[in-house]
Amino acid sequence: MSQLAANLRGKSNWVIILCAYITVYVILDRISSVQALPDIGFTLWNPPPAISLALLLTCGLLFAPALFVAAVLADALSGAVSAWLWPALASDAVVAAGYTVVAVALRPLVRRAAGLQSVREVSWFLVIISVGVLAIAGSVGAALVLMNVVPMSRFTATVRHFWVGDLTGIVGLLPVLLTAPRAWKRWRELSTRTRVVDVGVFALSLASALWIIFGVAPPQEFQFFYLLLLPVIWIGVRHGLSLCAMAILTEQVTLVALVNQLDYPASDFIAFQILSLAVAVAGLVLGAVVTERLHAEVKLRQQQAELGRVTRITTAGALGSAIVHEISQPLATLATYAHACQRLSSTAPQDKRLLTETLAKIESEALRAGEIVERLRDFLSKGDTLLGPMALEEAARRVAGALVDEARVNGVEVRIEAQSETSIVADRVQVEQLLVNLIRNGIEAAAERTTGEKRVRVRISRSDSEIRVDVEDNGPGVTPEIMERLFEPFATSKTRGMGLGLSLSRQIVESHGGRLWYERTSAMGAHFAFCLPCNRTNVDVR
Ligand code: ADP
């Protein structure tokens, strides 16, 4: 709406805006004159104030004097000014001032670009309009009583007439004016088929309801009035507030024309108008609920798309970091062995056996690094796991063998204890990687001890359905700062740590249908444990 205002202001053709406003106001005043009170001309359906409020809300309060000019002109053309000059001018002044105040109160609701769309905004809109119009009706009524135009005995009836007429006119037309750009946008988004079906259903249900109410039901028209809710509900549920406001206005205009045509007395007319007001309020609130839901859905879709994008970036980043993290150890070992080979070939070239052994170690470490990269890529990108039978004890010993140099340098003893059979169906490379992460963490932690024995103990036990592995060390234990985020990626307390080992380990265990956790019961050092199902033939890929 503010865009419309910007456009209007952009053209800065105030004269055109003023002329257009006054012309539309006067024409609308003429054609909406139904059940007008004698002499003072208050009608039971009065939409021109909706045009005035739309002008003030979109083009600014500077246009407030135009409200007075338009009202006086409309009165002059209807003959009211010549009959009651001062009372007409006084009531026009009160009306212009009153609607300017109402516009000020409504401004916060329509200031936003997409104003008037939530249930809260629509509720406040209805409250402000109802109270504002009542206050204006009371003030105009009081002025007319004071000026002896209306006898005191007719004060209440005059106020009620004014209130019902202006309120129905505003509630019917103003939401359409305020949401017109959105209605147009929504209309353009619809396929021709949807347009034809929805307009067809609306027209058919409106015609049927009117036929039943005014054709079949008399003299009990009011009993069937609720049928007029159906066409509004149809459009409200399908398209939300903006098109529902159009449906309400269409229904209102048709109803007023019909009731006028059928020559109902003023008392019935008021009753019809109050019922149509109830239909309009229900339709606007329903439309706002649907609009809110549609917006929430769009927002959710945007958030999901954004989340997907972030997840892809994070996964790509995690993949890169994980590769660096996991192959840095074999690369370091490779460098050490290569250096050893160089020294052996220069200092003891005759010791071929040692040279061959060290070269074999180089080959095995290089292969392991390549295997890790490949398996990590598969695991992180597609979640693939290559299942096969494997013995956990053997895997643990192999891993301990690979880490023996690191353990020896730090003076840490790695002990593997297994009870009975430890075979499972799992991805060997992933499970070895998991053991490397836990045992290496244990070695690094135990290495921090300054006195006494430094040790890491790996215990493998089996129940009927699962195999449990406990990895305990007698290092300083997990620091409290990291405890809550222990398994989150990038949570690390080490200067050169990546914080990926435990999160990757948990992913590996969970993709095998198992669990990995930290045992808080350990009195000394850290205690990690994981369980894997023994008889698994396939895995949940996450
Ligand atoms: P990184 O070893 O690269 O830091 P991890 O995910 O393997 O990444 O470990 C995360 C953090 O958990 C470590 O930085 C450390 O603070 C803590 N941690 C892991 N294992 C142990 C352990 N055995 N003893 C004490 N702290 C540990």
Q: Tell me: the pLDDT tens digits for 60-79? A: 888 999 999 999 999 888 77
Instruction: Take atom 14 of ligand 1 and give the residue whose Cα is closest.
Output: 492
Mean pLDDT, rounded, for 184-199 = 91
* Residue 451 structure tokens: 């006195």
164-175 pLDDT, tens digit each: 999 999 999 999
Least confident of 89-93, 392-396, 499-503: 499-503
Contacts of 301 (CB under 8 A, 6+ apart): none
Which of 126-140, 241-255, 318-332, 490-504 has the least mean pLDDT?
318-332
Q: Quick check: helix, strand or coil at residue 389? A: strand
pTM above 0.85, yes or no: no
Contact 94/136 with Cβ under 8 angstroms? yes
What is the 311 CA–ligand 1 centroid distance (Å)?
Answer: 24
Q: How far apart are the C-alpha atoms of 426 and 443, rounded to whole Å?
A: 25
Cβ–Cβ under 8 Å, residues 290 and 240 = yes
112 has a pLDDT exceeding 70:
no
pLDDT score for 542: 33
Q: Hey, whose CA ends up nearest to atom 16 of ligand 1?
A: 493
By most ligand atoms within 8 Å of CB, the mutation choice from 471, 492, 518 for ligand 1 is 492
Torsion-angle region of residue 182: left (phi > 0), alpha (psi -120 to 50) or beta? alpha
Is pLDDT above 50 for 437?
A: yes
b/e for 181-196, b at 16 or more Cβ within 10 A? Answer: bbbeebeeebeeeeee
Measured CA to CA, the distance from residue 355 to residue 350 in angstroms comes to 9
**Three-state secondary-structure class, residue 472:** strand
Nearest CA, atom 25, ligand 1: 478
The 10s digit of each residue's pLDDT in 317-334 is 666 766 676 677 778 888
Tell me the CA–centroid distance for residue 519 and ligand 1, in Å: 14
526 lines ligand 1 (CB under 6 A): yes
User: Is-contact 131 93, C-beta < 8 A?
Assistant: no
User: How many angstroms separate the alpha carbon of residue 406 from the centre of ligand 1?
Assistant: 16
Indicate the DSSP class of residue 493.
-
Report the run of H or E that residue 388 belongs to, with start and end: strand 388-391
103 sits in which H/E element: helix 85-110
Among 481, 432, 480, 439, residue whose Cα is nearest residue 458: 439
How close is the Cα of 242 to the center of ligand 1, in Å? 57
**H runs (alpha helix) in 111-240:** 119-146, 155-189, 192-210, 229-239
Least confident of 219-228, 315-324, 341-350, 414-423: 315-324
State both tokens at 408. 């020896």
- Ligand 1 centroid to Cα of residue 491, in Å, is 8
Q: What is the DSSP string of 402-468?
A: HTHHHHHHHTEEEEEEE-S--EEEE-HHHHHHHHHHHHHHHHHHHTT--SS-EEEEEEEEE-SSEEE
